[in-house]
Amino acid sequence: MGFLETLGVKCISDLAIREKRVFLRTDFNFPADESGNIADFDRMEKIVPTIQHILERNARLIIASHFGRPESEKDIQYTLEPFAAKLAEILDQDIYFFEDCVGMGAMQMVRDLKPGQILVLENLRFNEDEKKGSTAFARDLAKMCDVYINDAFGVCHRKDTSISVLPNFVETKAAGLALKDEVEVLSKFLGMEHGDGLCIMLGGSNVTDKIGLIRPMLDIADKIIIGGSIAHIFLAAKGIRCGATEVDETKIPVAKEILKSAGVRKVEIVLPVDFVTAETVNSTETVPCRADSFPEGMTAFDIGNETVELFTQKAAECRQLFWCGPMGVYEKTPFLSGSVRLAENIAKLPLFKVAGGGDTGLMLKKSGLEGSFDHISTGGMAALEFLKSGGILPGIEALKG
């Protein structure tokens, strides 16, 4: 029995959806480059099997998603219209797009859909109620469908209206094929205890959310390797300051407490010992240095050679690895090599390897290493929350019954 089945959650393959109106909540919140251009469409291709399953049953498909964090309604830089065009190209099929996600116009577009046709709605976050868990907004969305499918693992840890409230107003609901695949792979990490050989490797720039997830990881991991921005908080907690590198001072007491708890539980916390530094993130000249002899006025933007070897050695002592977040500012060529060399080393290790998050997946793809991992999750924070909660996420809970 699969993990979703044990929770009482159905998969789309269990449903009779022929010629029904199917609302597919997907995740088009892909990484974008500095100009706002979509950098990677792999996440879109992962939902194609679910879309094809729906179309093969001659259903009417309504696709909804969010993209970015628009600060105002109708912020054109966050429109989903380019995603609709890209999906039409991938499927080689005409796709309708509507400039809103609810209202009379949207309802009319849904009524006009014929079996086998697709409508993509505008960015859900253009409606301020999406982030509020609004019952009224959920009811408006529910009017457009007979079936609700969630294939957006990357946002299943959120309590957004379309994720955790809308399913309550649709009688027939299930997980999509991509969501099921994510959950079944990640569930292999659940129930682990000290001694089972789990290594969790954290990087990236999302300090606030990730540091809060480390404490519960002390219950399941034997080693926690920390790079990226979050590493500097832990180094500061140990009295090591890295030049002009920014540190969230409010998180240092949390890091001290985690280090103390890790010591008591005999969980090894592994931190960088050297860095690649520069005056600014746009500098082309870099200077290598050790963490304990950092040059004044310089900022760390990548891990150094010694750290790559240290992280590799520690990972090799384990049997499973979950990696979330690059170790440096991988978008900039001078600060990509640390993450890539580490990934190359990890790829050679006989571990069960899972990478999580859009940035981690994009970094692995840029370096041609995505095929060396057993699985690349579409959600970094969602995957960490999944491990922390024992698989109980709002978006999955909402699919029960």
DSSP calls for 54-119: HHHTT-EEEEE---S--SSTT-GGG-SHHHHHHHHHHHTS--EEES-SSSHHHHHHHHHPPTT-EE
Instruction: State which of 131, 159, 182 marks the end of a domain.
Output: 182
Q: How many domains does the chain have?
A: 2
Q: Does residue 9 sit in the same domain as residue 62?
A: yes
Output the six-digit token pair for 296: 């004044």
Is 245 part of any domain?
yes
Nearest to 363 by CA among 342, 381, 384: 342
CA distance 3 to 162: 23
Is 19 part of any domain?
yes
pLDDT digits (tens, 9 = 90+) for 168-202: 999 999 999 999 999 999 999 998 888 899 999 99
Is 146 part of any domain?
yes
Q: Does residue 178 sit in the same domain as residue 301?
A: no
pLDDT digits (tens, 9 = 90+) for 6-18: 999 999 999 999 9
CA distance 43 to 32: 13
Is 98 part of any domain?
yes
Report the DSSP beta bridge partners of residue 289.
275
Give the CA angle between residues 380, 65, 165 to the nearest 5°: 90
Is 401 part of any domain?
no
pLDDT digits (tens, 9 = 90+) for 46-73: 899 999 999 999 999 999 999 988 887 7
**101: domain range?**
3-182
Q: Does residue 114 sit in the same domain as residue 211?
A: no
Output the six-digit token pair for 188: 């292999």
Q: Does residue 34 sit in the same domain as residue 171?
A: yes
CATH at residue 50: 3.40.50.1260
Q: Does residue 150 sit in the same domain as residue 14?
A: yes
Q: Does residue 98 sit in the same domain as residue 246?
A: no
Residue listed under structure tokens 């960490």: 384
Q: Does residue 202 sit in the same domain as residue 249?
A: yes
Q: Does residue 172 sit in the same domain as residue 100?
A: yes
Report the DSSP beta bridge partners of residue 320.
198, 352
What is the model's pTM?
0.92
CA distance 226 to 204: 9
The overall longest dimension of the chain from CA atoms, in Å, is: 67
Is 363 part of any domain?
yes
Asked if 58 and 19 touch (Cβ cutoff 8 Å), the reply is: yes
User: What are the 10-residue block averages of pLDDT along the chain, 401 residues in total?
Assistant: 92 97 94 63 87 98 94 84 93 96 96 97 96 97 98 96 98 97 94 90 86 91 96 96 92 96 96 96 93 92 97 97 94 92 96 89 87 91 92 96 79
Is 399 part of any domain?
no
Q: Does residue 139 sit in the same domain as residue 219?
A: no
Q: Does residue 381 sit in the same domain as residue 338?
A: yes
Is 394 part of any domain?
no
